[in-house]
Amino acid sequence: MGVLSNHPFVKMNGLGNEIVVVDMRPNPNPITATDARSAAAGVRYDQLMAIYPARTTDADALVCIFNNDGSEAGACGNGMRCVADILFKESRKTSLVLEIRTGLLKCWQGATPLTCTVDMGVPRFGWDEIPLAKAFSDTRRIDLAVGPSDRPTLHSPSVANMGNPHAIFWVDDIDAYDLGEIGPLLESHPVFPDRANISLARVVTREHLMVRTWERGAGLTRACGSAACAALVCASRTGRAERKAIVKLPGGDLAVEWRSDDRVLMTGPVEYEFEGRFDPALFASAEPAR
């Protein structure tokens, strides 16, 4: 029987990015990939955010992030805002430090209800930091294409690690491509040993981007916070945009700023949907952790 059997949860979303939050602090048992997949079979989510006791005095809580295929994610900006809003209400603090697999993230309560700013950290651009399977001297534009070699459908993405690996394809129309077909092929392309989030991005103005994303381990999503951040930093790095912009996603807008200290701030809203408990039947036939 999985550790999430009959466990309470809160269903939320960040701009349509489907988030389930579970508080594991009272009984901090680890969640397995099987647990996460079984939970997703009962309550649709893109990411499951599990709150654990902080492992360091510098943090308010530890957050483990799971995709709906059971894999762990390195970051989820929309999910972090959901967790932060819950902890803001609980603690009555206006700022928090949350620990994730890739480090510490600071969150600030927004000026309006249900909004939050998350410090998403410092982007990484080295081929071995993203990581890529082979060396590229310039990750602003790598040799990767979809379609015939003489007339590729998509080509030359910018790549970066923004907590997760990201590939950004620059296009004139983000809706002109079947991302549901292209996304899974590129997510698992051999050049991405840890898989990657695949985004289509359009530069509307130097302070306005439009982005659609296929998330590794989750699929098509209405919003991906780390992809919005990756798109902004890659647009700025390639001279397409300023270091501060509104990023429009299918689910709504995020404000993203790549500060002079190299840290990336993301601001946006969250929404509460409902609370419940996971049906024990979802976990009755789950395989034991290996």
User: Side-chain half-sphere of 27: how many Cα atoms within 13 Å?
Assistant: 8
φ, ψ for residue 273, nearest 5 deg:
-110, -60
Q: Which amino acid, 202?
A: R
Sign (positive or negative) of CA dihedral 219, 224, 226, 230? positive
**Residue that is written with structure tokens 């932060």 in the block:** 84
Total residues found in the chain within this entry:
290
Looking at the DSSP bridge assignments, the partners of residue 109 are 116
Looking at the DSSP bridge assignments, the partners of residue 102 are none
Catalytic positions are 76, 224
Sign (positive or negative) of CA dihedral 237, 210, 118, 44? negative
CA-angle at 23, arms to 22 and 26, nearest 5°: 145
CA gap 48, 144 in Å, rounded = 31
> Is 232:264 a contact under the CB 8 Å cutoff?
yes
> Is 30:53 a contact under the CB 8 Å cutoff?
no
Q: Which amino acid, 161?
A: N
- First-residue to last-residue Cα distance in the chain: 14
CA gap 61, 113 in Å, rounded = 22
